[in-house]
Amino acid sequence: MTDLTGLSAFPITPASASGVVDVAALRGLVGRLAAAKVDSVGLLGSTGSYPYLTRDERRRALDAALDEAAGRVPVLVGVGALRTDAALDLARDAQAAGAAAGLLAPVSYTPLSDDEVFEHVRAVADGSGLPICFYDNPGTTHFAVSPALLGRLSRLPGVVAAKSPAAPAAEVAGRIAALRAAVPDGFRLGSSVDWHAAEALLAGSEAWYSVAAGLFPRPCLAILRAARRGDGAEARRLDAALAPLWALFRAHSSLRVVYAAADILGLCRAEPPRPILPLPAAVRADVAAVVERLGLG
């Protein structure tokens, strides 16, 4: 089983307006990440627009990514869905295809209770045999996991890790400590929210689940390596250098920005899935200027 630590890079999923995945473009994105030696590829996460794709297209994306990544980098794949039976089907697809683990968010329309989330995760982990990373993403699911609930989830067979939004610098160490106290030894705690990731890594987060790394793995790897060797000054310096990118992410959403950046860099011509619109021309120009100024091309 893959040890979910280090840098997990989350690429977009290039697709047509009708939701047909551009397999060649996706393979190109995954190949870049494998060549950069990220620790894992986070396929079909929120950046990968998983809720907007059918089960068949998600399987096509997974097969293409696994084929491109084979023997080079593990693939963690989003298996979230509104219904438990649909999430279970997706997890079984991922298990059969050879994914390293599944990323399971408590997707909902009607707000879910702790017990409903627990039973949802239990059913998917137990019924699929796929190692599960619980995906805490309250910005999209409108459900925030408590340390107590994560403690319950972490003791389910097959639930091996959690991806949680990193708190701001003043709060991050306390948040990680509270989560660590609730889960058993060996359960992996990782962080998202790129502009808080450096502090989260320095505070003990074992993984960085990164949108930026899906396009720009090398500067993200540099931050990770500095944090791992305990060089806080260097990790913060490298993080500060990316502040213009983080500002764009906060202002316009990381999803919209990386779609624009992928197009600007000529990596693919995909647009975000409707109803999400591409960035206006003026903002796109800002993205292009930041990419050039930071040398991210």
In a domain, 245, yes or no: no
- Name the residue type at position 288: A
Indicate which CATH number applies to the domain containing 32. Answer: 3.20.20.70
Q: How far apart are CA 87 and CA 235, in angstroms?
A: 37
In a domain, 240, yes or no: no
Nearest Cα residue to 125 out of 161, 97, 149 = 161
Q: How far apart are CA 220 and CA 41, in angstroms?
A: 13
Through-space distance between the first and last CA atoms of the chain, rounded to whole angstroms = 34
Q: Which of 37, 50, 52, 163 is catalytic?
A: 163
Residue 132 is part of which domain span? 6-229
Return the structure tokens found at 94: 């991922």
Q: What is the pLDDT of residue 68?
A: 97
In a domain, 199, yes or no: yes
In a domain, 94, yes or no: yes
Q: Which of 52, 109, 135, 209 is catalytic?
A: 135
Query: 135 catalytic, yes or no?
Result: yes
Sequence-ordered list of residues with C-beta below 8 angstroms from that of 61, at least 6 positions apart, any chain: 13, 21, 23, 26, 43, 44, 48, 53
Residue whose structure tokens are 């999923």: 13
Q: What is the pLDDT of residue 1?
A: 56
Return the structure tokens found at 168: 């701001």
In a domain, 249, yes or no: no
In a domain, 242, yes or no: no
In a domain, 288, yes or no: no
Q: How far apart are CA 250 and CA 159, in angstroms?
A: 31
- Name the residue type at position 85: D
In a domain, 164, yes or no: yes
Query: 52 catalytic, yes or no?
Result: no
Q: What is the pLDDT of residue 2?
A: 75
Count: domains in the chain:
1
Q: What is the pLDDT of residue 252?
A: 98
Q: How far apart are CA 54 and CA 149, in angstroms?
A: 30
* Global confidence as pTM: 0.97
Q: What is the pLDDT of residue 297?
A: 83
141 labelled binding-site residue: no
Nearest Cα residue to 207 out of 188, 226, 227 = 188
pLDDT tens for the 297 residues of the chain, in order: 578 999 999 999 999 999 999 999 999 999 999 999 999 999 999 999 999 999 999 999 999 999 999 989 999 999 999 999 999 999 999 999 999 999 999 999 999 999 999 999 999 999 999 999 999 999 999 999 999 999 999 999 999 999 999 999 999 999 999 999 999 999 999 999 999 999 999 999 999 999 999 999 999 999 999 999 999 999 999 999 999 999 999 999 999 999 999 999 999 998 999 999 999 999 999 999 999 999 998
CB atoms within 10 A of CB 224: 25
Three-state secondary structure call for residue 104: strand
